[in-house]
């Protein structure tokens, strides 16, 4: 397909600017020979596509939309590029006119309307976190009654946008989610999008059903009197049979307002967790704002660790000093449900005061060993390693120490850095007397204190982190509580600042 008369726009990702660019599209289309009606359809297709791109964006002030217009041998092509959630459009819930008429469910409406206005629409995921919507309108087309109806529906929808923002006061009922709720849960996730969920599985009905059927996810849903889903929260297991699960996928339908719903959902989910004999729940909260942190604190969760630069750099457009800054730190929250209060922990001497403060903050009574750490056992070490290419991190979990523990950690860290991951997390079991000695050695490799957390079996672990290639940008971290601000200062004080050059190669594999 040959292109000519290419025109490009780059503008802030703000809904108020969409009509401004739309006016330019209308004029461009008429200049290239399209009728006024077809030019209006192209303008509407762009407005729906741009609105869709914004709805899946990350909501940053510096987010941009890019538009390229070009006349081709068959008509006119528009390409809209943005950064946003890496969701596959074909697998998302499609627009349902009956649900729209009955309950105002607009999930899938943007892409549906865009398809009605032009002849070809394709959605693509590109490298670097970019999304692309390509729209093609063939040469001058005849006007039909169907086209008029479609255009009228699009215009009618736009005129009623303000009405859709009015909140309906209602009561709510709670129950456990079922596999047949998968479609409604995914639709609710799309409608309520405002936070970035780091696991996009929740947006795909087929994947949601699978998680519910296999017990990978336990959901609590809130319903209106009419049975419409209006709230959701879940416990997700990282491994089968895990005694610690992640509290996540909490979202509300902003069309409704029901006092106390969030608190009731969390209480119901906590009781469900106790029925599952879980030892604890944990959750992650971003630090580019404090709203999620405040919500978790209100539900009785407490901060236990600070993970620097944990969110992907692709969520930011900005560049500084030749790097990709903008990675978002995460706060780890823990809520103990039950368990032994007399656990003996082996904590490195220099971190013991801070670890003691963390467990007091969590409401846990633990005993701390006075020994400085024993030597390594003769057998081989056993570790688990997991990497997330999309998010850009590696997690190394020590199951059992051995004579080759440093070599195994060094190899995994070298692999992580070689693959371009800027962050690696290392979990050391605090119940093992060798943790003190191993912590001393791995900190010489560039790892440094992040806090404490729990492994899947419910055992306490010392959490260390390794950051390279990015600046964690401490000044951009927003924290909701005085305790967490104190934890931030401690992490900053022990941070070796080795962000640009990996240090692991200088560490020996000596035995203690």
Q: What is the pLDDT along the chain (512 residues), one digit of tens a residue?
A: 455 688 999 999 888 899 999 899 999 999 888 998 999 999 999 999 998 888 887 666 778 899 999 988 888 999 999 987 778 888 888 887 777 776 677 777 888 888 888 999 999 888 767 889 999 998 854 444 444 444 444 444 443 443 445 678 888 999 999 999 999 999 888 877 655 565 778 888 999 999 999 999 999 999 998 888 999 999 999 888 899 999 999 888 888 888 888 889 999 999 999 888 899 999 999 898 898 899 999 989 999 999 999 976 433 333 333 434 468 899 999 999 976 667 889 999 999 999 999 999 999 988 898 765 567 888 899 999 998 877 789 999 999 999 999 999 999 999 999 888 899 999 999 999 999 989 999 999 999 999 999 999 999 999 999 998 888 989 989 999 999 999 999 999 999 986 655 555 444 443 33
Pairing of strands 120-125, 382-388: unpaired
Largest Cα separation within the chain, whole Å, is 85
Tokens coding 159? 């005129």
Considering the domain architecture, whether residues 342 and 449 belong to the same structural domain is answered as: yes
Q: Residue 465 belongs to a domain with what CATH number?
A: 3.40.630
**Amino acid 157: pLDDT:** 47
Domains in the chain, number: 3
Backbone angles phi, psi at 206, to 5 degrees: -65, -40
Residue 295 within a domain: no
**Amino acid 67: pLDDT:** 93
Dihedral angle at the C-alpha atoms of 273, 275, 278, 279, nearest 10 degrees? 100
Alpha carbons 466 and 478: distance in angstroms, whole number: 21
User: Residue 98 contacts by C-beta under 8 Å, 6 or more apart in sequence?
Assistant: none
User: Residue 357 contacts by C-beta under 8 Å, 6 or more apart in sequence?
Assistant: 483, 486
Instruction: Say if CB 171 and CB 225 are below 8 A apart.
Output: yes
* Burial class of residue 321, CB neighbours in 10 A (0-12, 13-18, 19+): exposed
Confidence (pTM): 0.73
Instruction: Say if CB 400 and CB 420 are below 8 A apart.
Output: no
Considering the domain architecture, whether residues 212 and 183 belong to the same structural domain is answered as: yes
**Amino acid 341: pLDDT:** 65
Tokens coding 143? 């006007």
Domain that holds residue 220: 168-278
Residue 418 within a domain: yes
**Amino acid 319: pLDDT:** 39
Picking from 334, 324, 269, the residue whose alpha carbon sits closest to that of residue 484 is 334
Considering the domain architecture, whether residues 111 and 184 belong to the same structural domain is answered as: no
User: Residue 106 contacts by C-beta under 8 Å, 6 or more apart in sequence?
Assistant: 95, 100, 164, 191
Classify the phi-psi angles of 369: left when phi > 0, otherwise alpha if psi is within -120 to 50, otherwise beta.
Answer: beta
Instruction: Say if CB 25 and CB 69 are below 8 A apart.
Output: yes
**Amino acid 377: pLDDT:** 84
Alpha carbons 19 and 39: distance in angstroms, whole number: 13
Considering the domain architecture, whether residues 39 and 139 belong to the same structural domain is answered as: yes
**Amino acid 356: pLDDT:** 95
**Which of the listed residues 114, 142, 164 is the one where a domain comes to its end?**
164
**Amino acid 504: pLDDT:** 56
**Which of the listed residues 107, 129, 164 is the one where a domain comes to its end?**
164
Pairing of strands 302-307, 330-336: antiparallel
**Amino acid 179: pLDDT:** 96
Considering the domain architecture, whether residues 156 and 174 belong to the same structural domain is answered as: no
State how far the alpha carbon of 511 is from the alpha carbons of 56, 407, 507, in Å. 50, 10, 12
**Which of the listed residues 164, 199, 217 is the one where a domain comes to its end?**
164
**Amino acid 182: pLDDT:** 94
Considering the domain architecture, whether residues 128 and 191 belong to the same structural domain is answered as: no
Considering the domain architecture, whether residues 345 and 479 belong to the same structural domain is answered as: yes
Considering the domain architecture, whether residues 147 and 185 belong to the same structural domain is answered as: no
- Expressed in angstroms, the distance from the first to the final Cα of the chain is 67
Alpha carbons 456 and 474: distance in angstroms, whole number: 29
Alpha carbons 283 and 192: distance in angstroms, whole number: 19
Residue 257 within a domain: yes
Q: Residue 200 belongs to a domain with what CATH number?
A: 3.40.630.30
Tokens coding 356? 């003691």
**Amino acid 511: pLDDT:** 37
């Amino acid at each position: 397909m040959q292109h000519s008369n290419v025109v490009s726009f780059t503008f802030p990702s703000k809904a108020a600017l969409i009509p401004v660019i739309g006016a330019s599209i209308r004029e461009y289309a008429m200049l290239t020979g399209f009728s006024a009606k077809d030019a209006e359809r192209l303008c509407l297709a762009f407005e729906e596509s741009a609105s869709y791109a914004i709805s899946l964006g990350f909501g940053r002030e510096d987010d941009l939309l890019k538009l390229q217009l070009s006349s081709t041998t068959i008509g006119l092509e528009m390409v809209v590029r943005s950064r946003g959630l890496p969701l596959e459009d074909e697998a998302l819930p499609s627009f349902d006119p009956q649900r729209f008429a009955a309950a105002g469910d607009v999930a899938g409406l943007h892409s549906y309307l865009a398809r009605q206005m032009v002849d070809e629409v394709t959605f693509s995921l590109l490298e670097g976190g970019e999304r692309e919507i390509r729209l093609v309108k063939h040469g001058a087309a005849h006007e039909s009654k169907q086209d008029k109806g479609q255009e009228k529906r699009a215009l009618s929808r736009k005129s009623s946008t303000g009405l859709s923002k009015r909140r309906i006061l209602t009561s709510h009922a709670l129950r456990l989610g079922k596999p047949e709720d998968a479609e409604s849960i995914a639709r609710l996730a799309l409608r309520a999008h405002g936070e970035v969920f780091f696991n996009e599985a929740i947006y795909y009905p087929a994947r949601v059903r699978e998680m519910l059927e296999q017990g990978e996810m336990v959901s609590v849903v809130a319903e209106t009197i009419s049975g419409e889903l209006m709230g959701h929260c879940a416990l997700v297991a990282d491994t089968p049979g895990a005694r610690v699960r992640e509290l996540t996928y909490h979202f509300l339908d902003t069309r409704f307002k029901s006092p106390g719903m969030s608190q009731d959902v969390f209480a119901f989910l906590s009781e469900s967790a106790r029925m599952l004999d879980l030892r604890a729940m944990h959750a992650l909260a971003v630090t580019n704002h404090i709203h999620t942190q405040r919500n978790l604190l209100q539900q009785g969760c407490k901060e236990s660790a600070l993970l620097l630069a944990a969110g992907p750099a692709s969520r930011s457009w900005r560049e500084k000093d030749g790097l990709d800054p903008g990675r978002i730190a995460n706060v780890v929250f823990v809520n103990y449900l039950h368990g032994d209060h007399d656990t003996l922990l082996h904590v490195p001497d220099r971190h013991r005061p801070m670890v003691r403060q963390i467990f007091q903050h969590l409401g846990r009574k633990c005993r701390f060993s006075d020994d400085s750490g024993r030597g390594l056992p003769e057998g081989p070490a056993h570790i688990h390693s997991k990497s997330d290419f999309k998010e850009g991190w590696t997690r190394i979990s020590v199951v059992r120490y051995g004579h080759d523990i440093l070599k195994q950690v060094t190899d995994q860290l070298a692999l992580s850095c070689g693959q371009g991951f800027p962050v690696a997390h290392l979990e050391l079991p605090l119940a093992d007397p060798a943790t003190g000695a191993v912590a001393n050695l791995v900190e010489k490799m560039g790892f440094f204190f992040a806090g404490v957390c729990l492994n899947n079996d419910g055992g306490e672990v010392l959490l260390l982190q390794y950051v390279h290639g990015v600046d964690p940008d401490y000044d951009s971290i927003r924290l909701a509580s005085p305790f967490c601000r104190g934890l931030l200062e401690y992490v900053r004080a022990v941070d070796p600042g080795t962000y640009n050059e990996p240090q692991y190669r200088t560490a020996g594999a000596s035995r203690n």
